[in-house]
Amino acid sequence: MPSFDIYILSEYIGGMKVKTSITLSENLLQAIDARAREQGDLYKSRSDFIETALWAFITQLLRDEQNARDFEIINRRAEYLNAEAEDVLTYQVAL
């Protein structure tokens, strides 16, 4: 996994845009337009809002993948980590 934030990278290369067409429900477009208007100082257009939302979603997917890998490592080492914690507790003094 890259050591940089993918959203920051997207901002760096943000000038390289490609026009595309997608089909969305009318309800979703209305919600997007409403939010984009409410946050008008953050979003220049509907496209800007959608791009920001998609980058946030992709970033979350990458974070979830990393968390799953970390969780798998912890589970694989659980017996050792639990034994280490029990050992440390033996050094604790009573208050």
* pLDDT of amino acid 53: 92
* pLDDT of amino acid 12: 58
Please check whether residue 95 lies inside any domain of the structure.
no
Tens of pLDDT, residue by residue over 30-40, are 999 999 889 87
Please check whether residue 48 lies inside any domain of the structure.
yes
Is 69's pLDDT higher than 80? yes
Other beta carbons less than 10 A from residue 53's beta carbon: 14
Q: Which amino acid is at 94?
A: A
* pLDDT of amino acid 3: 46
Please check whether residue 58 lies inside any domain of the structure.
yes
Tens of pLDDT, residue by residue over 72-82, are 999 999 999 99
The C-alpha atoms of residue 11 and residue 55 are separated, in whole angstroms, by: 10
Number of domains in the chain: 1
The C-alpha atoms of residue 51 and residue 10 are separated, in whole angstroms, by: 10
Q: Which domain, by its residues, includes 45? A: 6-89
7 or 88: which carries more pLDDT confidence?
88
